[in-house]
Chain A
Amino acid sequence: MFFRILKKDLKRKKVMNIILLLFVILSAMFASGSINNMVSVYGGIDYFFEKAGMADYMMLTLNQGGNDPAEATILNAASVTAYEKEDIFFYSSKNLLKDGAVYTEFENPGLVTSINNAKITYFTENNEPVKEIAPGHIMIGGILADPDKTTAGDTVTLELSGVSRDFVIDGYIKDALFGSPFMGNSRMLMNDDDYSYYMSDEQIRDASCGCVYYINTNNIKELKKELSTATNALFAESKATFRMTYMLDMLTAALMLVVSICLILISFAMLSFTIKFTINEDFREIGVMKAVGIRTAAIRSLYLIKYLCIACVGAAIGFGFGLPFAKLMLGSVTKRIVIGNDNNILIGMASAAAVVIIIVAFCYSCTRSIKKLSPVDAVRNGETGERYGKKTFLRLSKSKLPGNIFLALNDVLSRPRQYLSMLITFSLCLLLITMLATTANTLMSRNILFLFGTTESDAYYSSTQRIMETMGSDDPDVLDRLIEDIEEKLKENGMPGKVHVELMYTLPVEFGDVKLQVTMQHCKDTKATEYSYLEGYAPAYPNEIALTPQILDELGASVGDRVLIEINGEKREFIISATFTSFNQMGKVGRLCESLEISPNDASSALSFQIDFDDDPSDETISVRIEEMKKIFDTDKIYDKDAFVEISTGSAKAIGTAKDLVLIIAMVIAALVTVLMERSFISKETPEIALMKALGFKNGSVCARHTLRFVVLMVFATLIASALTVPFTALVSNRIFAVMGALSGIRYRIRPLEIFAVYPLMISAVVTASAFFTSLYIKTIHPDAMGNIE
């Protein structure tokens, strides 16, 4: 008998059951997809490193003909448990040509590796391991794995010391060691025959060879100490540091994690609403069943079985959609890393099963209200004065609002619980977009310029190559002459200004037993007081330095302590006068006082040339001048403050892409929720719609009332999201910025028009259009359908 009732119910209440099924599918899809993403993101870089086979410690060396003195140091180090050596040779942008011209400009040297000698696993864009490369073909990774710089299918020439060969670019690789833009290097994989062809040249062997060591150890601290004597090491860092270089990718992934959590919240809010809604809809039938003597437990079991059936079917379908959905969410934001987990099917199934359990639990909890429903509800349409509190707050007679707007607003305010899940959904959708947009905008704004250890200048001319030419030179005035040359050219072209550059020195720092290589910033043309500090005072004397908290932690020192720094072979004592926060070197930097005498020839790298025009021009004038300077210096790499930050973080674009993806997902979710909710409302309100029509309301008017409810909700959602954008962005992004090195002081860039108008309008347009088109179903309801309750 019960199954006959159940069968009839499923058939007769087709619309509501299908809506519930769709919500279950959505919930299962969001839950399984999002939990998979959460596990993937949580595993994040460790998963990538494990798959790639990264060691505990990596060292890059420069040697002659592959005869590497560093290897002896490694062999003698007691803390080394195992190591592998990958031969490489270096190339620069002037070595990579297309049709005789430089193919693409890049600053730091690139590395060429033979795939046959690869000691870590490189992955294709589809996360497949690269096993072989055909002769005459190459694959590219690192900073050149960017469609703006290189294009798959292009034929390029690699020419070193007169040795030249053409290659077709097969595609991009994901390189665990040099994959992050923070590393600033590129990697080229080629066939062993091609590699040997270059290595057969003596000049290349002598001038451009190097090695990458992948070293495993049981004592990283000891290993650092033991390898600090390897003089030909270009850099050596632990896996933990390389992990940090991917923090920008992890920032995007972490934001996706937030999106996933929001999606799970949305899905359960929708489910909770739909179950309560459908059970409340059945008051009449529950009343009738009670009236004929069916026990509450039996009625409850009827609903539980029904929801269990729907939940199982919906969860199975949702699980099917969940995995591609998860892939879509993460795939577009993890271009450089392999992200995922090996248990995604298991997790998906567990999540879908959880959705079933939660639905049945919700249903069990909601069916408690069956106890309260009496046979009287069947007679009185569930509207007994004893059970229902006051519903109306607004008065049409007193209101100045047009009729439809009043009705829509009154509907929302009279039944807030009914609209709460939608309000949460719309607010979360908006909040996600505004948070991502604000983060992306901040990463492109001058607000965080201070985190790059530079002062504010009118223009930034990035030419590490030119600066590097001066390094290693014996002439101490070469950098000054370069700066004078730039200033002269600016003057000649009617835009006189001052030029300065931040130099980076890699210096050994000692505090007690701890010895570290620390990158120190120094600029003789600015004052240390022009930079901001967290604690203490700016280095005012040559024997004072400022260090970031990350370095202080590693040293175990604090402000006021004295450290030993080796400069020009001489150990000197410095007082730590302040701490500051920085994105440079993942926050592991120091600042020297401008009055310290240190040769620019000893610098290991430099930031951009900073140009300050004498006439304090407006932003518009600066833009014009930047375009002129690009012609004068024959480069595209001249930026204003915002562009400099954007190019330096390198993540704004990725976050922008993530934002666009989230925008699309949010719009699809908002549209789906709107369509399903509106269809539910129409189904529930059929008698009222029929009454309105009977009273002489036109279809357009009824549709307008229904559509306007969603507009009202969007207005509330916009207000909520607008109020929460700044605190929530700070809450989420501050932690991520902290991991990247910036511990405090982030001023988020809010673009009011974009945040408070454009995105709300976009979502509102989708919601309104979805509500309107769904509400057209009202046309099929006849005025005489007042007694019809589905």
Chain B
Amino acid sequence: MNTVIDVKDLCKTYVVNKKQNNVLKNVNFSIDEGEMVAVMGPSGSGKSTLLYTVSGMDKMTAGSVNFCGKELSGLSDNEMADIRLDEMGFIFQQMYMMKNLTILDNIILPAIKSKKKGESRSAVEKRGRALMKKLGIEETAENDINEVSGGQLQRACICRSMINRPKVIFADEPTGALNRTASKEVMDEMIRLNNEGTTVMLVTHDAGVAAKCGRVLYIVDGNIRGEYRLGKLEKAEEIRDRERKLSNWLMEMGW
């Protein structure tokens, strides 16, 4: 397996009111191609900061992040933007979308901005609609973002994250703002993407969500305290057992 993310001695420090706050302290881990990794930990442990720093959305203070062979710390803002556009996909807890665009236009916008693929606009539209159909929201294509439900919007966000066929999808509590049904639908889509070969790194508080991932990293006070390998989810029936095992491990870790 190829390593797509290799994090070494990653540090992130915020200075607030002249006080130094070390949010990430020498974090080391790697993620292989096709993996689905969950990051868990108590509130304020640095989960989201880790996700944003690894994905280049936030600058690291020290250390290195190697993304598909490219060292992110040395990249300029524009180079980083190109990587985010073409090789990364993002899903956030809040379903952030451009208010003045329809759902379909929001989804295809990154593809239109991407110069890599050189597709015609109609081809992009076709691909956007196909993705929407796959996620069951094709009927919302021409809707404004305030005309659909939270679950539909989050699935639209997944479509947008997928539109440029990224190598890795970063998801920050993708089900955090959704009810149980919508949450299940979204996670099912994520698993399907992962099964199709897309690497996923997600942050979650929900053991049920994490139990669907192949590996769980547990972070406390900016340090990775441990990791738990669950392996690929093969059958839906396994989920209860996986969740129980993970919960036991989390309790051992002080969850």
Q: Which one of A397, A698, A787 has the greatest number of beta carbons of chain B within 10 Å? A: A397
How far apart are A144's CB and chain B's nearest CB, in angstroms?
63
**A396 & B108 in contact (Cβ 8 Å cutoff):** yes
Q: Whole-angstrom distance between the alpha carbons of A708 and B238 in the complex?
A: 54
Asked if B255 CB lies within 8 Å of chain A CBs, one says: no
User: Are A392 and B94 closer than 8 Å at their CB atoms?
Assistant: no
One digit per residue, 1 when the CB lies within 8 angstroms of any chain A CB and 0 when it does not, for chain B 159-192 equals 0100000000000000000000000000000000
Check B78 for interface membership: any CB of A closer than 8 A. yes
Task: Decide: A783 and B57 in contact? CB cutoff 8 A.
Answer: yes
Contact with A along B78-107 (1 / 0, CB 8 A): 100111111010101010111111101100
B46 proximal to A (CB < 8 A)? no
Decide yes or no whether A631 CB sits under 8 A from chain B.
no
A696 B83 Cβ-Cβ under 8 A: yes
Find residues 105-154 in chain B having any chain A CB closer than 8 Å to their own CB.
105, 108-110, 112-114, 121-122, 124-125, 128, 142, 144-147
Indicate if B228 sits at the interface (CB-CB under 8 A): no
Interface residues of A in 369-398 (CB under 8 A from B): 383-385, 388, 390-392, 395-398
CB distance from A49 to the nearest CB of B (A): 59
Cβ 8 A contact of B96, one of A399, A403, A691:
A691
Also in contact, A391 and B99, with CB within 8 A (given A696-B113, A698-B78, A783-B57): yes
Q: How far is the CB of A691 from chain B (nearest CB, A)?
A: 5
For the complex formed, measure the closest distance between the CB of B151 and the CB atoms of chain A, giving whole angstroms: 15
Partner of B81, one of A403, A414, A697: A697
Task: Name the A residues within 8 Å of B160 (CB-CB).
Answer: 695
Q: A396-B105, A784-B52 are in contact. Are A696 and B110 (CB under 8 A)?
A: yes
Contact of B146 among A385, A694, A783 (CB under 8 A): A385
Q: Is the CB of A414 within 8 A of B100?
A: yes
Question: Least Cβ distance of A134 to chain B in Å?
Answer: 69
Chain B residues closer than 8 Å to A392, beta-carbon distance = 100-102, 105, 144
Chain A contact surface mostly: loop
Q: In the bound complex, how far is the Cα of B98 from the Cα of A248, in angstroms?
A: 55
Contact B98 A688 (CB under 8 A): yes
Chain A residues near B77 (CB-CB < 8 A): 698-699, 779
Give the residue name and chain of the A residue nearest to B106 (CB).
A396
CB pair A411–B92 under 8 Å, yes or no, is: no
Number of interface residues, chain B, beta carbon within 8 A: 41
Bound-state CA distance A390–B97 (Å) is 15
Q: Does B9 contact A (CB under 8 A)?
A: no
> In this assembly, does A400 line the interface, its C-beta being within 8 Å of a C-beta of chain B?
yes
A548 within 8 A of B: no
Q: Which of A658-715 contact B (CB under 8 A)?
A: 687-688, 691-701
Q: Which residue of B lies closest to A410 (CB)?
A: B100
Q: Which residues of B contact A698 (CB under 8 A)?
A: 77-78, 81-82
Cβ distance A11 to chain B, nearest Cβ, rounded Å: 14
Q: Is B113's CB under 8 angstroms from A701's CB? A: yes
B206 interfacial by beta-carbon distance below 8 Å? no
B243 to A: closest C-beta gap in Å: 29
Q: How far is the CB of B133 from chain A (nearest CB, A)?
A: 15
Tell me whether B58 is interfacial, beta carbon within 8 Å: yes
Which residues of A are found within 8 Å of B112, using beta-carbon distances? 396, 403
Residues of B within 8 A of A695 (CB): 84-85, 90, 109-110, 113, 160
Residues of B within 8 A of A399 (CB): 121
CA distance A444 to B167 in the complex (A): 69
Q: Which of B58, B94, B122 contacts A784 (CB 8 A)?
A: B58
With a cutoff of 8 Å between Cβ atoms, the chain B residues found around residue A415 in the complex are 100
Rounded to whole angstroms, the CA-CA distance of A694 and B91 in the bound complex is 10
Q: Interface centre among B58, B128, B146, B160, by most A CB within 10 Å? A: B146
- B43-76 vs A, CB cutoff 8 Å, 1 = contact: the mask equals 0000000001000011000000000000000000
A-chain residues with CB within 8 Å of residue B82 when the two chains form the complex: 696, 698
- A390, A396, A692 — most chain B CB neighbours (10 Å): A396
- Do the beta carbons of A782 and B146 come within 8 Å of each other? no
**Contacting residues, chain B, for A687 (C-beta < 8 A):** 96
Type the 1/0 row for A769-790, where 1 means its CB is closer than 8 Å to any CB of B.
0000000000100111011000
Q: Which residue of B78, B85, B108, B145 is within 8 Å of A397 (Cβ)? A: B108
A414 to B144, CA, bound (A): 11
Is B94 a contact of A697 with CB atoms below 8 Å? Answer: no
Q: Do A383 and B85 contact each other (CB < 8 Å), given the known contacts A396-B112, A694-B90, A697-B113?
A: no
A657 to chain B, nearest CB (A): 44
What is the CA–CA distance of A407 and B114 in the complex, to the nearest angstrom?
15
The residue on B at minimum CB distance from A786 is B96
Kindly list chain B residues whose C-beta atoms are within 8 Å of the C-beta of A691.
96-98
Residues of B within 8 A of A694 (CB): 57, 84, 90, 92
Given contact pairs A383-B146, A396-B108, A696 touches B100 in the complex (Cβ within 8 A): no
Q: Contact between B102 and A395 (Cβ–Cβ < 8 Å)?
A: yes
Q: Please indicate the chain B residues that have their CB under 8 angstroms from the CB of A783 in the complex.
A: 52, 57-58, 84
* Bound-complex Cα distance A688 to B105 (A): 15
The answer to whether A411 and B100 have CB atoms under 8 Å apart is yes
Please give, as numbers and ranges, the residues of chain B lying within 8 Å of A784 by CB-CB distance. 52, 57-58
> B: which residues have CB within 8 A of A?
52, 57-58, 77-78, 81-86, 88, 90, 92, 94, 96-102, 104-105, 108-110, 112-114, 121-122, 124-125, 128, 142, 144-147, 160
Minimum-distance CB pairs A-B, first 3: A696-B85, A696-B84, A396-B105
Besides A415-B100, A696-B84, A786-B96, 20 other CB < 8 A contacts? A385-B146, A385-B147, A388-B144, A391-B100, A392-B101, A396-B112, A403-B112, A407-B98, A407-B100, A411-B100, A692-B98, A693-B57, A695-B160, A696-B86, A696-B110, A697-B81, A699-B81, A782-B58, A783-B52, A783-B84
> Can you show 25 pairs from A to B with CB atoms below 8 A apart?
A383-B145, A388-B144, A396-B101, A397-B108, A398-B125, A400-B121, A403-B113, A688-B98, A688-B99, A693-B57, A694-B57, A694-B92, A695-B109, A695-B110, A695-B160, A696-B113, A697-B85, A697-B113, A698-B78, A698-B81, A698-B82, A783-B57, A783-B58, A783-B84, A784-B57
Interface residues of A (CB under 8 A from B): 383-385, 388, 390-392, 395-400, 403, 407, 410-411, 414-415, 687-688, 691-701, 779, 782-784, 786-787
